[in-house]
């Protein structure tokens, strides 16, 4: 299991001033962490399409939708199905 360390960053992207991070083997539900200005804005359950902590703006929802279209979260979704 070399490299599969719980809490390791699986992905990170910056869009419109937000930093979106997802971690390898993080707890369920499958989610991403969203930061702005060094503070967490939201934890977003990507399969459930619901905030599990914080709140989402319409602008941020559009950003997340675009990242999903681009396939940014494909590996995250796969690792939770294994």
What is d(CA 25, CA 11) in angstroms, rounded to the nearest whole number?
A: 12
2 part of a folded domain: no
pLDDT at 28: 87
Give long-range contacts, CB 8 A cutoff, 24+ apart: 56-64: 59/16, 60/18, 60/34, 63/15, 63/16, 63/18, 63/20, 64/20, 64/32, 64/34
3 part of a folded domain: no
36 part of a folded domain: yes
Mean pLDDT, the chain cut into blocks of 10 residues (82 residues total):
59 95 87 96 94 95 95 82 54
Q: Which domain holds residue 45?
A: 9-79
4 part of a folded domain: no
Distances 63 to 3, 16, 32, 66, 70 between C-alpha atoms, Å: 29, 8, 13, 5, 11
48 part of a folded domain: yes
Q: How many domains does the chain have?
A: 1
3 state DSSP class of 13: strand
pTM for this one?
0.83
């Amino acid at each position: 299991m070399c490299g599969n360390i719980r809490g390791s960053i699986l992905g990170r992207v910056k869009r419109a001033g937000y930093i979106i991070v997802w971690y390898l083997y993080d707890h369920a539900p499958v989610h991403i962490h969203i930061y702005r200005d060094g503070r967490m804005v939201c934890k977003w359950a990507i399969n459930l399409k619901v905030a599990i902590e914080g709140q989402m703006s319409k602008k941020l929802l559009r950003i997340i939708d675009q990242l999903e279209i681009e396939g940014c979260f494909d590996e995250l979704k796969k690792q939770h199905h294994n």
